[in-house]
Chains A and B, each alone.
Chain A
Amino acid sequence: MRVGIIAEGKSDQEVIAGILQACKIDKSDIIQVKPENQTDETDKNNPENSNETTIGTLQGVKKACMKNENGARPYFDKFFFIDDQNYMVIHLDTAEIDQQDFDFQKPEKNNDAYPTELRNQVINFINEWLENNYADELLYAIAIEEIEAWILAKFGKNTTKSADPKRTLNHELKKISKNGIVNKEKEKDKIIDEMRKMKTLKPFLKNNKSLEEFVNSITGKIKF
């Protein structure tokens, strides 16, 4: 059994892959579907293509989910073409979902049910893009506000409603790193490594509702 990941960025893929590993999916059974290197170096350096979305973004995830000009969804079609490739994770950060050219209204933030409501709303949004196809095969990695909030959960605070988790995580990493930027990245990698085992991931779950819901959806859906 293998699981594909469609994520906004490469670093998001890495975090999600770690969580899947904690849920007993071997690293070698995880396929990074998007973002991918769609273009060669010539196209990448061609000024004519400067406006094209070649790297993963929220728009990139939407593009992967929507039908293309030929009426196909090549990322899904190709991944599910192979036997034993049964699940696809779709990742979205909610931070900018109402700021882009999407018709999306976030729920009231002061509400305790905010993370669950927002997660469900984003799931419905993704399903609209997919016209409710692949319902049994999808796992939704909806990070409220950014996936950095899931890493930030390491530091023992409830990070569910953290306004700027990327910045807060940077601040926390800076505190534990001794020699500037290189060590900051190393510390972040160490935390992601902790997320690869359920035993060490469990304390994170208490501190972030959307992470907990994602993990529960994996363990509830994937049967070994």
Chain B
Amino acid sequence: MIEEIHIKNFKSIAGDTIALGRVNVFIGENGCGKSNILEAVAFASVSKKYDHVDGDILHNNNIRVTKPILMVNQFEENEGNEKNQDNKNTVDITLKIDNKIVYCTSTPSELEYIKSYWGENLKISAQENDILEKMLFKLQNNKDDDAMNKGFANYIVEIVKKNKEKEKNIAKNLINYALYTLNTQALRGLGNFSYSQKGLFGENLDEMIANLTPEETEKLKSYSYFVEWFEDFLVDGEDTLKLEGHKLNFNKSLLYFKDKFMPKDKNLVFVSENANEGILHLLFYLTMMISHKTPSFFAIDNIESCLNPHLCRKLMTEICKLAKENDKQILVTTYNPAILDGLNLLDDEIRLFEVKRNQYGHTKTKRIKIKPNQTNELGEKYKLSELWTRGFLGAISKNF
């Protein structure tokens, strides 16, 4: 699990620390910097994954690219500003993962060139191993050749080995992080999203479903009650249905649906292009949460897109359950208050954050917590969605 992120000098974020849970929902007014937080983690991820990071790599990983001079925070220094005094053009991202610290420090080679290389210095804190290895050296060079010394040395060797294994897993978690921004055309198998590295717009939905195990497919189908008309789906791996005239040539999707209201005896199937956008978004999110092949740590920008408010709430409740069952950790942004009603904020693993610009324009996050056992004297309770829309949570525009 990523326990904490510290972002310094990235886009609108001069300096901010976020203590994460398993499911993390970010709300705030337009332009407050929610997506910048998701991108900052993607920035750290690509820094670990690639030897040389440039504008193209950032773009392919769903990070909005500008001239590097604007990728680093350019806000004027002010009270409370945590700007890096040594190098103002360096992005620093620090992640605390399973009690280890991963540092990512990155400086562009040219501030004005959009495709500039970003020289990076990424390392995992090895303080514990450093100390252990020093102890080991002393033990191994000790003249007293007693059994206790040897036993202790072997014990330390084992711990160092385990620590290194743990570091590998940490790196894997971070490398596999992906920031998804679903696009209905991509989900339908239309348009060209070939530059995307990992199906970040939903263009690989058919492949993701095809890769599910039978148990995972069964689990996914158990959510069929989410959509009234849904009977079944199938992935036509050989693309034979195209030859039978079920879709036009330009559609790349292999995902087909059956509608429960259509006659059963006629084998009427239709390609995802003809399905409503809501079911495609739903299938994508549920598959992400159920599949063992999808990243264990990922982000979704604007999760509510194309979904009915009632469905938003139910989906979010299920996502929280599935995150625990399948050991996933997610970052989510939303503009739909109904998403909040699916969160149990009394569970410390489920966290809600307000993202805001402070009076100096810097993006800051604040965890929203509910006071335990807080009801009015009549015992009334309040929906988070209502508290948000009525302005009691903040995270709304104040100028009108």
Asked whether B380 lies within 8 Å of A72 as measured between CB atoms, the reply is: yes
Is A80 part of the binding interface, using a Cβ–Cβ cutoff of 8 Å?
yes
> Which residue from A2, A28, A70, A74 sits with its C-beta under 8 Å from B358?
A28
> Which residue from B371, B374, B387, B398 sits with its C-beta under 8 Å from A32?
B398
Asked whether A82 lies within 8 Å of B359 as measured between CB atoms, the reply is: no
Is B382 part of the binding interface, using a Cβ–Cβ cutoff of 8 Å?
yes
List, in ascending order, chain B residues with CB within 8 A of A84's CB: 366, 369
Q: What's the Cα separation between A167 and B378 when bound, in Å?
A: 45
| 8 Å CB interface, B360-400 against A | 364, 366, 368-371, 374-378, 380, 382, 386-387, 390-394, 398
| 8 Å CB interface, A59-98 against B | 70-74, 77-85
Q: Please give the number of chain B residues whose Cβ is less than 8 angstroms from any Cβ of chain A in the complex.
A: 25
List, in ascending order, chain B residues with CB within 8 A of A26's CB: 358-359
List, in ascending order, chain A residues with CB within 8 A of B386's CB: 78
The contact string, 1 if C-beta is below 8 Å from chain A, for chain B 326-364, is 000000000000000000000000000000111100001
Given the interface pairs A31-B391, A32-B391, the reply to whether A71 lies near B359 with Cβ below 8 Å is no
Is A21 part of the binding interface, using a Cβ–Cβ cutoff of 8 Å?
yes
Q: What's the Cα separation between A80 and B382 when bound, in Å?
A: 11
> Which residue from B364, B374, B378, B392 sits with its C-beta under 8 Å from A31?
B392
Q: What's the Cα separation between A36 and B378 when bound, in Å?
A: 24
Asked whether B359 lies within 8 Å of A21 as measured between CB atoms, the reply is: yes
List, in ascending order, chain B residues with CB within 8 A of A74's CB: 376
Given the interface pairs A32-B398, A71-B378, the reply to whether A82 lies near B358 with Cβ below 8 Å is no
Is A33 part of the binding interface, using a Cβ–Cβ cutoff of 8 Å?
yes
Is A27 part of the binding interface, using a Cβ–Cβ cutoff of 8 Å?
yes
Given the interface pairs A78-B387, A81-B387, A84-B369, the reply to whether A31 lies near B394 with Cβ below 8 Å is yes
| 8 Å CB interface, A25-75 against B | 26-29, 31-33, 36, 70-74
Asked whether B394 lies within 8 Å of A78 as measured between CB atoms, the reply is: no
List, in ascending order, chain B residues with CB within 8 A of A83's CB: 368-371
Asked whether B358 lies within 8 Å of A72 as measured between CB atoms, the reply is: no
- Chain A CB within 10 Å, residue with most, of B356, B359, B368, B370: B359
Q: What's the Cα separation between A33 and B392 when bound, in Å?
A: 7
Asked whether B371 lies within 8 Å of A72 as measured between CB atoms, the reply is: no
Q: Shortest CB–CB separation between residue A71 and chain B, in angstroms? A: 6
Q: Please give the number of chain A residues whose Cβ is less than 8 angstroms from any Cβ of chain B in the complex.
A: 25
Q: What's the Cα separation between A29 and B376 when bound, in Å?
A: 23
List, in ascending order, chain A residues with CB within 8 A of B356's CB: 28
Q: Shortest CB–CB separation between residue B233 and chain A, in angstroms? A: 38
List, in ascending order, chain B residues with CB within 8 A of A31's CB: 391-392, 394
Q: What's the Cα separation between A36 and B394 when bound, in Å?
A: 13
Asked whether A82 lies within 8 Å of B391 as measured between CB atoms, the reply is: no
Asked whether B374 lies within 8 Å of A81 as measured between CB atoms, the reply is: yes
Asked whether B394 lies within 8 Å of A2 as measured between CB atoms, the reply is: yes
The chain A residue sitting closest to B355, CB to CB, is: A28
Q: What's the Cα separation between A21 and B358 when bound, in Å?
A: 11
Asked whether A82 lies within 8 Å of B378 as measured between CB atoms, the reply is: no
Asked whether B394 lies within 8 Å of A72 as measured between CB atoms, the reply is: no
Asked whether A73 lies within 8 Å of B376 as measured between CB atoms, the reply is: yes
Asked whether A33 lies within 8 Å of B357 as measured between CB atoms, the reply is: no
> Which residue from A28, A70, A81 sits with its C-beta under 8 Å from B394?
A28
Q: What's the Cα separation between A28 and B368 when bound, in Å?
A: 14
Given the interface pairs A26-B359, A32-B398, the reply to whether A80 lies near B371 with Cβ below 8 Å is yes
Query: Could you list which residues of chain B lie within 8 angstroms of chain A, going by C-beta atoms?
Result: 356-359, 364, 366, 368-371, 374-378, 380, 382, 386-387, 390-394, 398
List 22 A-B pairs, Cβ < 8 Å.
A2-B394, A21-B359, A28-B358, A29-B394, A70-B380, A72-B376, A74-B376, A77-B375, A77-B382, A78-B387, A78-B390, A78-B392, A79-B392, A81-B387, A82-B369, A82-B392, A82-B393, A83-B369, A83-B370, A84-B366, A84-B369, A85-B392
Query: Could you list which residues of chain A lie within 8 angstroms of chain B, going by C-beta atoms?
Result: 2, 4, 21, 26-29, 31-33, 36, 70-74, 77-85
